[in-house]
Amino acid sequence: MSGNTIQRQSILSTIIIFVGFAFGAFNLLVLQKWALTTEQWGLTRVITESAILLASFATFGSTAIVAKFLPFYIRYQNEKSNDLPFITLFLAFIGIIVTTILVILFKPYILVIFGKNNPFFTKYYYVLPTFVIMQFVFVTLEIHAVYAGKIVWVNALKELLFRLLTSVILLGIGFKLLNFDQFMLLFAFIYLLPSAGLVYILLKNKRLPIVPRLSSLTQRLSSKLITLGAFVFTSSISQIAFTVCSTLFLAGKSGLKYAGVWAVADYFSTVLEVPMRSLQSSSIPLIAEYWRAKNYTGLLSLYKKSCINLLIVGFALGGVIILNAKNLTAYFGPDYQMMALPLIILVTSKWINLGTGLNSMIIQLSSKWRFDFFSNMIYSIVGIPLNFVLIHYYDMMGAAIANFIAMFVFNFVRSTFIWKRFGLFPYDFKFLKLCVISMLLIFGMSKIPYNLHYIIDAILRTSLFILIFLFIIIKGRFSNEINEIWKKWMMKIPVINKL
């Protein structure tokens, strides 16, 4: 896959994901506030966060094996002898059976932890295993669709259709067409249509061959398949465990209300990572090819561009969120007054992550992929205990501080490793200048008094910031890619095109 193809798919995927996030924002800002109580909203977030962890565990590392080795199988095996899809799907099938049994067997112990302050969770526990199974199917097949060149469709199903379905069931309960029991039943099966869509795409394009016998290639690579699967699987689980532990710890200690408020803050900070998610998915084939060809020049170029471009978008989105933190709490009401400062800290931690670009994919797809395991273990070893301790004393503020510290340590270790081991260092004076100017702009505009109605203030404050920030980025020529896109857009305006 060429760099131009990746750029096109990244742009399309980013647009789709942003449209999905727009529906997500509508669900969050309008529908859930209207249709659900804070506790009910918190329940959906606890189930979702738990399912992310459990569905990833259920893959048993099969998705990591596909991500790493499928290019080799496509290159050296024909369709009739490519047994990797069958092997990994069989492994995943075993994983989901084991996971489902564990979720059922450990129900009493899980309810002791999360059901004490959350009677809703006890009543609707049945939703958890159902949701996990539905999401598992999507997670397992997603990587196959990516290698089939259907990343745009993957993002459309995952980011857009999922949120559209959420809108539908929220409207249903909001207009009293559904009661909460019916809402939760539909919520349990919300991944059914996206998963069915993936199955259809793969079967239609004949990209899921089922070859129930071991090829000679698999026999030669068997030890590497097992080793990589085990390492990356453990690495991914530890990272996901850290990602969801804040919500789960807050729910266990303070109840679903706190989990619901934290979920809102986490959602807004996660918006910053939308471009990274699309870029990571679409760049997998190119990075894998660069490593195969030992093209360090191509890797450095991609690494450097990803760092500065992702951070530019991150500063734009993060600036809007930080400058409107008080407006957001005013909109959501008294329950959310505790959210403002933790939200600002979370946004700052996302800047750290965005500023390190594609370091995760570069390590995972390299010959030193084992380091991904060790760095993720550091992430979890630092982050999970910090979350537990700081949440115990400071609730949401503690969770935000723990996330910031863990994110800094995690990315510092990974970026240093890539620099020292591969000689890939993406930072220069332009990057530093971008950071300083952007933070000074956000800090300066945060000093503007909040004297108007929060909706009017949000519109004016956001518009002014975006205009100034865009002017700085274009005139400062921080990104050739952004300047080229801007130039193309401007040339499509008839008045400018005639000049």
Which tens digits make up the pLDDT trace of 186-219? 999 999 999 999 999 988 887 777 777 788 888 8
**pLDDT, position 259:** 84
Instruction: Return the sign of the alpha-carbon dihedral for residues 475, 477, 481, 484.
Output: positive
**pLDDT, position 492:** 67
How many Cβ atoms sit within 10 Å of the Cβ of residue 208? 18
- Closest by Cα among 4, 9, 3 to 275: 9
Contact 407, 398 (CB under 8 A): no
What is the amino acid identity at position 474?
A: I
- Distance in angstroms (rounded) separating the CA atoms of residues 22 and 35: 18
- Distance in angstroms (rounded) separating the CA atoms of residues 163 and 387: 29
| DSSP string computed for 28-59 | IIIIHHHHS-HHHHHHHHHHHHHHHHHHHHHT
**pLDDT, position 220:** 83
Contact 282, 29 (CB under 8 A): no
In Å, what is the CA distance from 44 to each residue of 5, 260, 268? Answer: 37, 9, 17
- Distance in angstroms (rounded) separating the CA atoms of residues 37 and 43: 10
- Distance in angstroms (rounded) separating the CA atoms of residues 463 and 469: 10
| DSSP string computed for 395-408 | HHHHHHHHHHHHHH
Phi, psi of 453 (to 5 degrees): -60, 145
- Closest by Cα among 136, 148, 64 to 361: 64
- Distance in angstroms (rounded) separating the CA atoms of residues 144 and 284: 12
**pLDDT, position 10:** 66
**pLDDT, position 150:** 82
**pLDDT, position 496:** 47
Mention every residue, 6+ apart, whose C-beta is less than 8 A from residue 386.
401, 402, 405, 406
**pLDDT, position 498:** 47
pTM of the model: 0.75
Mention every residue, 6+ apart, whose C-beta is less than 8 A from residue 443.
none
Q: What is the mean pLDDT of the chain?
A: 86
Mention every residue, 6+ apart, whose C-beta is less than 8 A from residue 363.
369, 371, 372, 375, 414, 417, 418
Contact 65, 88 (CB under 8 A): yes
| DSSP string computed for 99-148 | HHHHHHHTHHHHHHHHSSS-HHHHHTTTHHHHHHHHHHHHHHHHHHHHHT
Regions of the chain where pLDDT drops below 50: 495-499
- Distance in angstroms (rounded) separating the CA atoms of residues 462 and 452: 14
